[in-house]
Chain A
Amino acid sequence: MSEMPVYNLYMGCSVPANYPNYEAAMIKVAEAFDIQLEYMEGVGCCGSPNLRSIDYMAWLTVNARTLAIAEKNGHDIVTPCNGCFGSLKDVYHFLKHDANHRKQVNTILKKEGLEFKGTITPRHFVEALYTDIGITEIQKKVTKPLDGVGIAIHYGCHLLRPADVTEFKREYLNELIEATGAKVIEYPIWKQCCGATVLPVDENLGIRLARDKLKSMKENGAEFVTVVCPACGNQLDLQQLGLKESYGEEYNLPVLLYPQILGLAIGMDEEEVGLSMNRVPAAPILDHLSG
């Protein structure tokens, strides 16, 4: 690689508060691949789909503001959260095509000396890894490949859809998992939502959706699960602990954030990727590392 890629790192609110292991593993993986991540200054929560539901203008404005701040230094944004990615990418896409709303938003941003122009792209961390580093370079660094153990991927709705907005293909994540030596487990409801977004309105429904996914993954031979979003992580990992009581079912499916798996495969130890913070004990993954 000729030049070290630099990105604006947009953390959002959930990863820093709930998943410091994800944040740290991502940063360490980035360092290993000579990717420079610079925490963005003066930004915070994206508002989530909840803000989009009740206050479209505010949701447009706050995300356009984040994009406009990144435009000042000219580097793309990367984020580890599907919710933040979905918000930023949707706003980016919408404002690029809608001159009327762009004008309205920029009138508000002008007070801070900011302007959304659409000159940088918001991206998910795993997409940047896939596109800018590439599978070949990633494989070169894998010193402790996984032994072909079956991992089911929950991609997350806002990473995949709307496809014309997110421009993410599920093959990216499949190949990223395969690059670590693991086997991707196909299961019928891979497209289905984890249920996170519906929790405030119907908690039981949200839990049922998470349970359905875990059941489908397990039935199709998954030994581990990977996610790239804190909300999906909460649903599949944390909620899994409650299923014994609500459904009388135990899945014992450890859920890892993708950078944790890649981190281990390139030689990091379990503490570096914060494995002890995962809710369903994830240490069994260590038995599948070879080399």
Chain B
Amino acid sequence: MAETKEPAGPPVTLTEPIEMSKLDVKFREEIHSMPNGEELSACFACSTCTAACPIANIWKYKPHQLIRMILLGMRDEVLSSDEIWLCLTCFQCQERCPQKVRVTDIFFDCKNLAAEEGKIPANIIGLAKELLEKGQLYTVTADWEREDMGLEPEVPGLSVDALKNILKETRTNKIVDSGE
């Protein structure tokens, strides 16, 4: 009979035990009530979402783990994770979910909750500031290029005030304020 080696340590898949006292049991309800969160609890952890994700290989928490963490109530870990901001929003996970869990949409919900708590990458705050101050992400600078193409130098009908006025009244204003 072949001799089996003594295991050198715990299997690599084993992570730190979850501390039950730190779980937020209401987190799943919170996400459930947010836009497109209704199907959350249908997840049966098949990890098809992770198989579909083109960058899950570099994620500490894989998409299916994030969904499981939401269901378990690991609110802090999810909302502080880099992964929700690294999400490409390519919707491949959501598209393939056999249970119709809107995975990408749920990560958008998570980002909104993180944003409400001020947990936002600096460059995203920069974009929020751009939107708030300029009312758009890109501004025409090379208007001669437009004229070369026979277009009006200024975009016909453009209003940057519309978005600025909306953002003044919403979370973006708060985010930019507290970021400064």
Contact = CB atoms under 8 A, between A and B. Distances in A.
Chain A's interface: helix, strand, loop or mixed, by majority? Answer: helix
Interface string B126-160: 11100100011111110001101111000111111
Interface string B66-100: 00000000000000001001101111101100000
Interface string A17-59: 1101101100100000000000111111101111111111110
B65 interface: no
A193 interface: yes
A119 interface: no
Interface in A140-162: 157-158, 160-162
A13 B138 contact: yes
Interface residues of B, number: 59
Q: How large is the interface on A (under 10, 10 to 19, 20 to 34, 35 or more residues)?
A: 35 or more
Contact of A161 (B95, B123, B126): B95
B43 interface: no
B167 interface: yes
A14 B35 CA distance: 27
A149 B157 CA distance: 39
A189 B92 CA distance: 12
Nearest to B123: A200
B86 A45 contact: no
Nearest to A56: B112
B166 interface: yes
A182 B115 CA distance: 46
Contacts of A202: 86
Contacts of A49: 89, 108
Contact of B120 (A39, A45, A54, A205): A54
Given A44-B158, A45-B137, A201-B123, A21 B55 contact: no
B171 A43 contact: no
B10 interface: no
B162 A193 contact: no
Interface of B: 35-36, 54-55, 58, 82, 85-86, 88-92, 94-95, 102, 104-105, 108-109, 111-112, 115, 120-121, 123-124, 126-128, 131, 135-141, 145-146, 148-151, 155-160, 162-163, 166-167, 169-172, 175
Closest A-B pairs by Cβ, 6 of them: A161-B91, A45-B136, A24-B149, A17-B138, A13-B136, A193-B90
